[in-house]
A and B are shown apart, each in its own frame.
Chain A
Amino acid sequence: MTTALFVIFGATALASALLAVTRKNPVASAMWLVMMFFGLAGGYVVLEAYFVAAVQVLVYAGAIMVLFLFVIMLLDLRSEHLMEEEAPRMPILGVAAAVLFLAVSGIALLNAVDDGMFPDAAARATLELDGSARAIGESLFGTWLLAFEVTSVLLLGAIFGAVILTKRRLT
């Protein structure tokens, strides 16, 4: 039952991602990406990472997609010259890169499965992990407190960068 749910959510996410990168209209791409975020959030719920699922919907499907759509509106993409996109110089190379990555990593994954690096059904049944906000908060503000504080500096830098880049008149 859980596996079936995970396959459904995962297939939704994968199909949405493929559609997102192949749509000509950027608005359609963004909408398919929202679909992918929701699919992944469903997958996280099935994996019992409840808080991650909630934050996935809030931050990705909420904040980041709004940022994307805001910029798409600012750019006035209905004008013709922004919609037309030149074909890549060598599309076969991009496809080859993706397929090659999938092949190499897939073989590595299959090897790892053959070596028994992943727990089997009996071992998985004993796994216990609390994915609640309390457990994540205790780890975040305990073990990873320094990393959390450094993250605030990163965000501050991103804010400065974004403001300077968009405010200054470039000539």
Chain B
Amino acid sequence: MTLASALLAPVLGAGLAIPIEWVIGLGLALFSVGILGVACRRNILIMLLSVEIMLNAANVVLVGFSRMHSEISGQVFVFFSMTVAAAEVAVGLAILIAVYRLRRSIDADDTTQLREIDYGPLPPIKLEGEPSHHAHDDHDDAAEPVGAAGGA
């Protein structure tokens, strides 16, 4: 008997009185709070915190099912989940710091470099062996013989 169980034995009594479905319900509720945080907040830091909440919800469910089946593997999986959470936080916060250095902001709406890049006014695209003004002329004045000859 471990020290913790020895200390808590008079409080807890024998066996497990907690209904497993309550444990699962707590996990589901926590997960939905995490979804709320990820979906409704624009602060990347808070979004990472919400992901932590969701990982914890998964841990709660793992511990609950571990109790239900009297199988210790569920609690071992909690450790793997914690390892993944630690790795995710380390890399996520590193990305956050890189984004902050770049944009001076941790708002998710400001980090759209992969979606839309502001190059300023676009330079004209020059194809190899083709004068840059050619395509322009072709559309503006198609009847001009010089432009038609150049296109051929």
Interface check B87, CB cutoff 8 A:
yes
**Cα–Cα, bound, A49→B98 (Å):** 38
- CB of A48 within 8 A of CB of B16, answer yes
- CB of A139 within 8 A of CB of B73, answer yes
How many A residues touch the partner, as a band? 35 or more
Chain B contact residues: helix, strand, loop or mixed: helix
Write out, one digit per residue, whether chain A residues 90-130 have a CB within 8 A of any chain B CB (1) or not (0): 01011101110110011001001100001101001111111
**Cα–Cα, bound, A127→B23 (Å):** 15
B-chain residues with CB within 8 Å of residue A109 when the two chains form the complex: 21, 24-25, 28
**Complex partner residue of A125 from B14, B29, B33, B85, CB under 8 angstroms:** B14
**Cα–Cα, bound, A76→B41 (Å):** 19
Interface check B12, CB cutoff 8 A:
yes
**Cα–Cα, bound, A163→B15 (Å):** 47
**Complex partner residue of B73 from A101, A126, A144, CB under 8 angstroms:** A144
**In this complex, which of B93, B96, B105 has the most chain A Cβ atoms within 10 angstroms of its Cβ?**
B93
B126 to chain A, nearest CB (A): 26
Q: Contacts A7-B22, A88-B40, A165-B95: A121 and B17 contacting too (C-beta < 8 A)?
A: yes
B-chain residues with CB within 8 Å of residue A51 when the two chains form the complex: 75
A84 to chain B, nearest CB (A): 9
B26 to chain A, nearest CB (A): 4
Closest-by-CB residue of B relative to A72 is B45
Given contacts A44-B63, A95-B39, 20 further A-B contacts (CB under 8 A): A2-B17, A10-B22, A17-B30, A48-B12, A52-B75, A68-B48, A75-B96, A81-B104, A94-B38, A94-B39, A94-B40, A124-B15, A129-B16, A130-B72, A135-B72, A139-B76, A140-B79, A154-B87, A157-B87, A170-B102
Interface residues of B (CB under 8 A from A): 2, 4-5, 8, 11-26, 28-43, 45-46, 48-50, 52-53, 56, 59-60, 63-64, 66-68, 70-73, 75-76, 78-80, 82-91, 93-98, 100-102, 104-107, 109
Interface residues of A (CB under 8 A from B): 1-3, 5-7, 10, 13-14, 17-18, 20-21, 26, 29-30, 33, 36-37, 40, 43-52, 55-56, 59-60, 63-64, 67-68, 71-72, 74-75, 81-82, 85-86, 88, 91, 93-95, 97-99, 101-102, 105-106, 109, 112-113, 118-119, 121, 124-133, 135-136, 139-140, 143-144, 147, 151, 154-155, 157-159, 161-163, 165-166, 170
